[in-house]
């Protein structure tokens, strides 16, 4: 409409730190000064939400901390943790990086497949992993994929840091353990063993620019036909991205050939209660969730 910020953000200041330490200090100061502050990366949530928000609900934000200038946050590296190979993503790593970084596409093609399903190129170039995690949308695409890869997030603040497994990060609908003075510095994921079944399947409203109706990321490792490790991350079936721990408990230690589909379906019935909304229906979601889990387990 015109050269104006979205309502409630007309007078918001913007800080543009260059380092994580600087960003943390800015957040700490804001918290001490009782200012409302918000991190900004790709803007795929913050800018849209504020732009579409009714004026009456658009409370002011005092400070936006733009982290797109922090180079440490866009790094992708490798790390050995307890003898297991991990990829470590800075919080600002974009989906486009996942699609184009040879270490990622060569090591965990599932992340490439997932990233390709996020919006479309213009969203992939802006959207970040930390943004996807912090927003805590139950329909997030990145979170289930990272969850299935045993993702752990490192939260840092001025003078401190802690590491939280992703499946303990979300507390309730759009609520997380992230404190106002913390930021997501990195996400570490375990590289599945060679030969593992590492799969991604998103059922969205269309093939691009889609929010998922159900999505499932899965890692299934086997030794001698027996499932030694099963990890899941499912989107859009609960208030938070869901690890399907009940299914995992049921299938680990079992042989792939002797899996009991009825028992797995029953476990899914216990774990998730998907709802009706403008995108889909609860019964359809439940049906698809079961089908996707079964496909994930299939040889």
Binding site for another protein (CB under 8 A): 1-7, 9-14, 16, 40, 42-44, 47-48, 50-52, 54-56, 64, 66, 68, 96, 116, 119-123, 125-126, 203, 205-211, 213, 278-281, 283-284, 287-288, 291-292, 295
Does the CA dihedral 53-57-59-65 come out positive or negative? negative
Shortest Å, Cβ 54 to another protein: 7
Shortest Å, Cβ 9 to another protein: 4
Among residues 223 and 277, whose Cβ is nearest to another protein?
Answer: 277
Shortest Å, Cβ 153 to another protein: 23
DSSP helix/strand/coil, 278: coil
Gap between the Cα atoms of 237 and 197, Å rounded: 22
Gap between the Cα atoms of 86 and 78, Å rounded: 6
Shortest Å, Cβ 285 to another protein: 9
Gap between the Cα atoms of 29 and 14, Å rounded: 14
Among residues 97 and 176, whose Cβ is nearest to another protein?
Answer: 97
Shortest Å, Cβ 12 to another protein: 5
Q: How many CA atoms lie within 13 A of 171 on its CB side?
A: 6
Residue 194, C-beta contacts closer than 8 angstroms, at least 6 positions apart: none
Among residues 62 and 252, whose Cβ is nearest to another protein?
Answer: 62
Residue 281, C-beta contacts closer than 8 angstroms, at least 6 positions apart: none
Among residues 172 and 278, whose Cβ is nearest to another protein?
Answer: 278
Shortest Å, Cβ 63 to another protein: 10
Among residues 26 and 203, whose Cβ is nearest to another protein?
Answer: 203
Among residues 110 and 153, whose Cβ is nearest to another protein?
Answer: 110
Gap between the Cα atoms of 235 and 244, Å rounded: 11
Among residues 45 and 158, whose Cβ is nearest to another protein?
Answer: 45
Among residues 149 and 235, whose Cβ is nearest to another protein?
Answer: 235
φ and ψ at 72, to 5 degrees?
-55, -30
Cα-based torsion angle of the residue sequence 269, 273, 278, 283 in order, rounded to the nearest 10 degrees? 30
Shortest Å, Cβ 172 to another protein: 23
Q: Find how far residue 280's CA is from the centre of its chain.
A: 21
**Residues 113 and 105: beta-carbon distance below 8 Å:** no
Shortest Å, Cβ 277 to another protein: 9
**Residues 187 and 150: beta-carbon distance below 8 Å:** no
Burial class (CB in 10 A: 0-12, 13-18, 19+), 284: middle
Q: What is the DSSP letter of 55?
A: G
Give the start-end residues of each E strand in 103-159: 152-157
């Amino acid at each position: 409409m015109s050269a104006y910020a979205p309502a409630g953000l007309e007078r918001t200041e913007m800080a543009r730190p260059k380092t994580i330490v600087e960003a943390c200090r800015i957040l700490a100061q804001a918290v001490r000064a009782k200012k409302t502050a918000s991190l900004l990366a790709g803007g795929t949530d913050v800018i849209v939400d504020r732009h579409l928000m009714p004026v009456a609900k658009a409370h002011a934000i005092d400070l936006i901390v733009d982290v797109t200038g922090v180079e440490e946050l866009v790094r992708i590296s490798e790390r050995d943790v307890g003898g297991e190979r991990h990829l470590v993503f800075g919080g600002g790593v974009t989906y486009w990086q996942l699609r184009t970084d040879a270490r990622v596409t060569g090591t965990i093609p599932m992340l490439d497949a997932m990233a390709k399903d996020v919006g479309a190129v213009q969203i992939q170039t802006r959207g970040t992993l930390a943004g996807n995690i912090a927003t805590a949308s139950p329909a997030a695409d990145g979170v289930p994929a990272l969850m299935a890869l045993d993702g752990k997030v490192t939260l840092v603040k001025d003078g401190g840091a802690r590491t939280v497994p992703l499946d303990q990060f979300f507390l309730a609908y759009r609520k997380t353990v992230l404190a106002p003075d913390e930021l997501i510095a990195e996400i570490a994921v375990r590289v599945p063993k060679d030969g593992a079944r590492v799969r991604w399947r998103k059922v969205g409203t269309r093939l691009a620019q889609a929010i998922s109706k159900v999505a499932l990321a899965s890692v299934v490792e086997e030794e001698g036909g027996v499932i030694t490790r099963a990890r899941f991350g499912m989107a859009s079936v609960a208030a938070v991205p869901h690890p399907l721990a009940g299914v995992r408990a049921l299938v680990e230690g079992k042989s792939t050939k002797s899996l009991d589909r009825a028992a797995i379906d029953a476990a899914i019935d216990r774990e998730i209660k998907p709802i009706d909304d403008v995108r889909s229906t609860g019964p359809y979601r439940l049906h698809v969730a079961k089908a996707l889990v079964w496909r994930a387990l299939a040889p």
